[in-house]
Structure 1
Amino acid sequence: MTIMTFHEIRFPTRISYGAVGGPRFSTTVQILGSGHEQRNINWAEARREYSVDISPSRGQEWEAVLSFFHARRGRAYGFRLKDFADFQLEQGVLGTGDGTTESFGIVKRYQDAEGLAPGYERRLHKIVQDTATVYLDGTAQFGNWTVDHQTGTVQFTTAPDPGAEIAVSCEFDVPVRFDTDLMEAAIPGPDIHQWQRVRLVEIRV
């Protein structure tokens, strides 16, 4: 049976703080006979990977990890992860109003300071509850909009006026899953559990 399900719950932040990881791209590099390289981009979007060190753990902390892993059925169900290295968007521009469009996807753009190369646009889907503020032409809006925290979409009740710059500030999570179905933990002593290098991988939602 194939399971394509996501749980709207965040991995315990007291455990994920200190995780090692970040975006991974996929590039095929072919060395030509001349010694030059031909590089092909395989993925249009980066996929983030993380390694969480959970050792040693005691008492309630270990129970939290054990329960969380069981509830996700190993790799079966996705969940949210707070990436402490990159979890905020500050007045990110979503687009320009046309007087008709009422829905805008939340994106974060990464751009070289000099702007010499094309920037990278990242679609944000998992917005943290009660952290979003929407702006029109730099002015915060109190009403006429809602945010879908599961899809990362700003929905206006009335479409913004033509030419109005639409922006949003918010915090966001990364949709991930465990990269193993086996919790192979060591027990080096009474009430001490050790499960090193728990690997999490980003999933497409």
Structure 2
Amino acid sequence: MGFHEVRFPTSLSFGSAGGPVRRTEVVTLANGYEERNSPWAHSRRRYDAGMGVRSLDDVSTLIAFFEARQGQLNGFRWKDWADYKSCLPSEDVSAGDQEIGVGDGATLRFSLCKVYASGSESYLRPISKPVDQTVRVAVDGAEQPGAAFAVDSVAGAIVFLLPPAEGAVVTAGFEFDVPVRFETDQIVTSVSSFQAGDVPDVPVLEVRV
């Protein structure tokens, strides 16, 4: 599958609806108890891009983007306005937001991730599409200058020029996009129905990259 490192217009994604989807297999036993299992290690997000379309100019922008991706053929970046930072939406990104590894004196590359915690349970989500200019990095609490590392914004990783010392905690803060594709090869629009308040149904689905 192809992937275009371009972001869906944020003016359209701002009004979209969607979020994470899990897959859980539930088997009810004869005694009424359940056995539950999930074949997915990670959730998969789904959105409706049509919800952000407010004018005929928006429709034109949407169709141009759709055609350039050739429908479902090529993936693209999506800004999830409800979850696009390593911190809370109301906070500013800081270099200490997320722990991404511990130095061993040799490793240069550290993959980005975000932890979702509730009570004693947590989920670690890999982040594959950081927004390059927003990434901040710290080693043992000391923020690193931009010259000390590079950002792999295609695969979601930090690459140090020199390896962090053994036992040094590496943290990072960042904004990020979700890798997605259109979940349809057709966009149906009508000028008359749009003026009456209808919007096109444009499903978008997260992809593994």
TM-score normalized by the length of structure 2: 0.89
1:177–1:203 CA contact under 8 A, matched in 2:
yes
* 1:74 and 2:71 aligned: yes
SS at match of 2:133: coil
How is 1:149-160 mapped onto 2 (pairs within 5 angstroms)?
Answer: 149-160=153-164
Q: Matched residues, percent identical?
A: 38
Q: Which amino acid in the other structure matches residue 128 of structure 1?
A: V
Higher strand proportion: 1
* 1:15 and 2:12 aligned: yes
Higher helix proportion: 2
Runs (5+) with no aligned partner, structure 1? none
Cα deviations by residue, 1:77-118 (Å, 9 ceiling, x for unpaired) = 000000001000142100111101110000111111x32x3x
Partner of 2:56: 58
2:15–2:52 CA contact under 8 A, matched in 1:
no
* 1:83 and 2:80 aligned: yes
Q: Would the alpha carbon gap of residues 13 and 170 (structure 1) be closer, same or farther in structure 2, given more than 3 Å must change?
A: same
| Equivalent position to 1:176, from 172, 175, 180 | 180
Partner of 1:186: 190
| Equivalent position to 1:125, from 116, 123, 128 | 128
2:148–2:160 CA contact under 8 A, matched in 1:
yes
- 1:62 Cα deviation after fit: 2.3
| Equivalent position to 1:48, from 45, 63, 68 | 45
**Partner Cα separation in structure 1 for residue 194 and residue 13 of structure 2:** 24
| Equivalent position to 1:146, from 123, 134, 150 | 150
Q: Would the alpha carbon gap of residues 186 and 158 (structure 1) be closer, same or farther in structure 2, given more than 3 Å must change?
A: same
Q: Would the alpha carbon gap of residues 56 and 110 (structure 1) be closer, same or farther in structure 2, given more than 3 Å must change?
A: closer
1:13–1:82 CA contact under 8 A, matched in 2:
yes
**Partner Cα separation in structure 1 for residue 190 and residue 52 of structure 2:** 11
Runs (5+) with no aligned partner, structure 2? 88-96
* 1:109 and 2:115 aligned: yes
| CA-atom RMSD in angstroms | 1.8
Between the two proteins, the alignment pairs up a number of residues equal to: 198
Q: Would the alpha carbon gap of residues 141 and 20 (structure 1) be closer, same or farther in structure 2, given more than 3 Å must change?
A: same
2:12–2:53 CA contact under 8 A, matched in 1:
no
Q: Which amino acid in the other structure matches residue 96 of structure 1?
A: V
Indicate the larger mover: 187-196 or 132-141.
187-196
Question: Which consecutive segments of 4 or more residues in structure 1 shift more than 6 A?
Answer: 189-193
Q: Which amino acid in the other structure matches residue 94 of structure 1?
A: I
Q: Which amino acid in the other structure matches residue 104 of structure 2?
A: D
- 1:198 Cα deviation after fit: 1.3
Q: Which amino acid in the other structure matches residue 137 of structure 2?
A: V
SS at match of 2:179: strand
**Partner Cα separation in structure 2 for residue 140 and residue 129 of structure 1:** 16
